[in-house]
A and B are shown apart, each in its own frame.
Chain A
Amino acid sequence: MAEFSVIGERLPRVDAREKVTGEAKYAADYSLPNMLWCKLLRSPYPHARILSIDTSKAERLPGVKAVVTAKDFGGWTWGWMPATRDEPPLAVDKVRYMAEAVAGVAAIDEDTAEEACQLIRVDYEELPGVFEPEEAMRESAPKVHDYVKNNISVEYHWNFGDVEKAFAESYIVREDRFRTSRATHGYLEPPAILAYYDPTGYITVWASKQSPYFHYRHLAACFKLPLSKVRVIQPFIGGGFGGTKNDSLAGDFCAVLLSKITGKPVKYVESMEEELVTSRRRHSMIVYSKMGTKKDGTLTAIHHRVVADGGGYTAVGPLSLYLAGFATTLPYRLPNFKYDAYRVFTNNPIGAAMRGHGITHTRFAAEIQMGMIAEELGIDPVEMRMQNAIDNPKPGTIYETINKVTLKTCGLKEAIQKVTEDPIWRDRNKTPRKEGNISWGVGLSGTSYLGGARQMGHQACAAIVRVCEDGTVNLITGATDCGQGSDTVLCMIAAEELGIKLEDVNIKRVDTAYTPVDPGSYGSRVTILAGQATQKAAREAKRQLLEAAAKTWQVKSEDVEIRERKVFITSDPERSMPFNKLSKIACYSGTGAVILGTGYSGYGLEPLDLTNGIGNGGTSYSFTAQSARVGVDMETGKITVTDFTIASDCGRLLSPIQAEGQIEGASVQGMGQTIYEDFIMDRGKTLNPTLLDYKMPHSTDIPNIKLIDIVTNDPDGPFGAKETSEGSIVSTPPAVVSAIHDATGIWFKELPITPEKVIKALKEKL
Chain B
Amino acid sequence: MKQIRLMVNGESHELSVPPWRTLLEVIREDLGLTGTKEGCSLGECGACTVIMDGRAVNSCLVLAAEADGKQIVTIEGLADGDKLHPIQQAFVEHGGLQCGFCTPGMIMSAKALLDETPTPTEEEIRRGIAGNLCRCTGYTKIIESIKAAAGNTEEK
Q: Quick one: which of A403-452 are within 8 Å of B by CB?
A: none
Given A21-B79, A29-B34, A698-B133, is A239 in contact with B101 using a C-beta cutoff of 8 Å? yes
Rounded to whole Å, the gap between the CB of B33 and the closest CB of chain A is 7
The yes or no answer to A667 lying at the interface (CB within 8 A) is yes
Rounded to whole Å, the gap between the CB of A672 and the closest CB of chain B is 9
Q: Report how far A269 CA is from B107 CA in the complex, Å.
A: 24
The yes or no answer to B121 lying at the interface (CB within 8 A) is no
A185 proximity list for chain B (CB < 8 A): 135
Q: Quick one: which of A363-416 are within 8 Å of B by CB?
A: none
B103 proximity list for chain A (CB < 8 A): 19-20
Residue contact B139 to A668, C-beta cutoff 8 Å: yes
Interface residues on B, range: 35 or more
Select B141's contact among A238, A664, A700, beta carbons within 8 Å. Answer: A664
Residue contact A188 to B37, C-beta cutoff 8 Å: yes
Query: Can you name the residue of chain B whose Cβ is closest to the Cβ of A481?
Result: B99
The yes or no answer to B31 lying at the interface (CB within 8 A) is no
Given A20-B84, A657-B95, is A188 in contact with B138 using a C-beta cutoff of 8 Å? no
Residue contact A239 to B39, C-beta cutoff 8 Å: no
Residue contact B42 to A690, C-beta cutoff 8 Å: yes
Query: Can you name the residue of chain A whose Cβ is closest to the Cβ of B79?
Result: A21
B74 proximity list for chain A (CB < 8 A): 22
- Highest count of chain B CB atoms <10 Å: which of A189, A484, A699: A699
Q: Quick one: which of B56-107 are within 8 Å of A by CB?
A: 74-76, 78-79, 84, 88, 91-95, 97-104, 107
* Chain A interface, >50% SS class: loop
Q: How would residues 192 to 234 of chain A score, 1 for a CB under 8 Å from any chain B CB and 0 otherwise?
A: 0000000000000000000000000000000000000000000
Residue contact A272 to B130, C-beta cutoff 8 Å: no
The yes or no answer to A61 lying at the interface (CB within 8 A) is no
Interface residues on A, range: 35 or more
Query: Can you name the residue of chain B whose Cβ is closest to the Cβ of A109?
Result: B29
- Highest count of chain B CB atoms <10 Å: which of A269, A660, A661: A661
Q: Report how far A12 CA is from B148 CA in the complex, Å.
A: 15
The yes or no answer to B53 lying at the interface (CB within 8 A) is no
B100 proximity list for chain A (CB < 8 A): 15, 18-20, 24, 236, 238, 483
Residue contact B127 to A700, C-beta cutoff 8 Å: yes
Rounded to whole Å, the gap between the CB of A483 and the closest CB of chain B is 3
B130 proximity list for chain A (CB < 8 A): 698-700
Residue contact A238 to B92, C-beta cutoff 8 Å: no
The yes or no answer to A642 lying at the interface (CB within 8 A) is no
The yes or no answer to B3 lying at the interface (CB within 8 A) is no
Select A21's contact among B28, B84, B101, beta carbons within 8 Å. Answer: B84
A28 proximity list for chain B (CB < 8 A): 34, 38
The yes or no answer to A32 lying at the interface (CB within 8 A) is no
The yes or no answer to A2 lying at the interface (CB within 8 A) is no
Q: How would residues 177 to 194 of chain A score, 1 for a CB under 8 Å from any chain B CB and 0 otherwise?
A: 000000001111110000
The yes or no answer to A16 lying at the interface (CB within 8 A) is yes
Select B99's contact among A20, A21, A482, A669, beta carbons within 8 Å. Answer: A482
Q: Report how far A24 CA is from B91 CA in the complex, Å.
A: 15
Residue contact B35 to A13, C-beta cutoff 8 Å: no
Residue contact A189 to B95, C-beta cutoff 8 Å: no
Residue contact B76 to A21, C-beta cutoff 8 Å: yes
Residue contact B99 to A239, C-beta cutoff 8 Å: yes
The yes or no answer to B47 lying at the interface (CB within 8 A) is yes
Q: Quick one: which of B110-156 are within 8 Å of A by CB?
A: 125-127, 129-130, 132-143, 156
Residue contact B137 to A661, C-beta cutoff 8 Å: yes
Residue contact B40 to A690, C-beta cutoff 8 Å: yes
Select B37's contact among A238, A241, A657, A666, beta carbons within 8 Å. Answer: A238
Residue contact A188 to B143, C-beta cutoff 8 Å: no
The yes or no answer to A507 lying at the interface (CB within 8 A) is no
A295 proximity list for chain B (CB < 8 A): none
Residue contact B95 to A17, C-beta cutoff 8 Å: no
Given A187-B135, A691-B42, A704-B156, is A19 in contact with B141 using a C-beta cutoff of 8 Å? no
Residue contact B95 to A13, C-beta cutoff 8 Å: yes
Q: How would residues 22 to 51 of chain B score, 1 for a CB under 8 Å from any chain A CB and 0 otherwise?
A: 000000100001111111111011010000
Q: Report how far A26 CA is from B100 CA in the complex, Å.
A: 10
Q: Report how far A368 CA is from B108 CA in the complex, Å.
A: 42
Residue contact A239 to B136, C-beta cutoff 8 Å: yes
Rounded to whole Å, the gap between the CB of B122 and the closest CB of chain A is 10
Q: Report how far A666 CA is from B74 CA in the complex, Å.
A: 29
B137 proximity list for chain A (CB < 8 A): 661, 664-665
* Sampled A-B contacts (23; CB under 8 Å): A17-B84, A17-B92, A18-B100, A19-B100, A20-B97, A21-B35, A22-B35, A22-B74, A22-B75, A22-B104, A28-B38, A187-B135, A188-B101, A188-B102, A190-B39, A237-B99, A238-B37, A239-B136, A269-B38, A661-B138, A661-B141, A666-B138, A698-B139
Extra inter-chain contacts (4) besides given A20-B107, A665-B98, A690-B44, CB under 8 Å: A13-B95, A188-B39, A239-B98, A697-B138
